[in-house]
Amino acid sequence: MDKIQAMAKNIRLVIFDVDGVLTDGSLFFDNNGEEYKAFNSKDGHGIRMLLESDIQVAIITGRQSEIVKHRANNLQIDPEYVYQGYRDKRPAFKELLTKTKLSVEQIAYVGDDVIDLPIMSQVGVAIAVNDAHEFVQKHADWVTQLPGGKGAVREVSEMILESQGKLESLLHSYLDN
């Protein structure tokens, strides 16, 4: 854990996949083809904690969904940092590098499937959720204890904040003094 915290100390941007990371990977469709996803509120608060601590957040997903746009807006993720419909995620990653002017060492990526590996292999901290594909876990710097859509994002957020010495004061800010 010391090694991953040392790596996470420099993170300025966390990129999240959606299906299998921000959700548990389940896709629900009604009879009209409308898509539904379930997001974890604790994961959402973890994202808000990152943003409040001056750590940028981005989304790169292979699917296109108004639900993702709505969730990102709800969490106040910059719309310019939300990339949908990128089965090959490398062009979106390259654009993010240009926009943010960050080095790859300052970026963490959280994924769950082989489609995430091209970016995971380039970033400073590659993270797989607990229920990620076994091959993805083997190529991650760190694997969460919790599965995607079930608290893994919050776990990632708190690990990064703790590594940067920001977590304890942030948590204590919620106490009524």
Q: Which amino acid does the sequence have at 3?
A: K
d(CA 168, CA 91): 36
Tell me the pLDDT tens digit for each residue of 88-123.
Answer: 999 999 999 999 999 999 999 999 999 999 999 999
Question: Model confidence at 176, in pLDDT bands (50, 70, 90)?
Answer: low
Domain edges within the chain: 2-172
Tell me the pLDDT tens digit for each residue of 10-45.
Answer: 999 999 999 999 999 998 999 998 889 999 999 999
Is 89 annotated in a binding site? The answer is yes
Q: What is the pLDDT of residue 7?
A: 94
Is 141 annotated in a binding site? The answer is no
- Output the CA torsion 147→78→38→162 (10° steps): 30
Say whether pLDDT at 140 is over 90. yes
Tell me how far the alpha carbon of residue 69 is from its chain's centroid. 15
Topology at the third CATH level for domain 2-172: Rossmann fold (3.40.50)
Question: Model confidence at 2, in pLDDT bands (50, 70, 90)?
Answer: confident
d(CA 141, CA 36): 31
In the 8-state DSSP scheme, what is residue 131? T
> What does each C-alpha distance from 151 to 22, 65, 97, 145, 164 come to in angstroms?
9, 22, 27, 9, 20
In the 8-state DSSP scheme, what is residue 73? H
Token reading at 5: 């915290």
d(CA 139, CA 142): 9
pLDDT above 70 covers a percentage of the chain that reads 98
Residue-averaged pLDDT of the chain: 96
Question: Model confidence at 76, in pLDDT bands (50, 70, 90)?
Answer: very high
pTM of the model: 0.96
Is 2 annotated in a binding site? The answer is no
Is 63 annotated in a binding site? The answer is yes
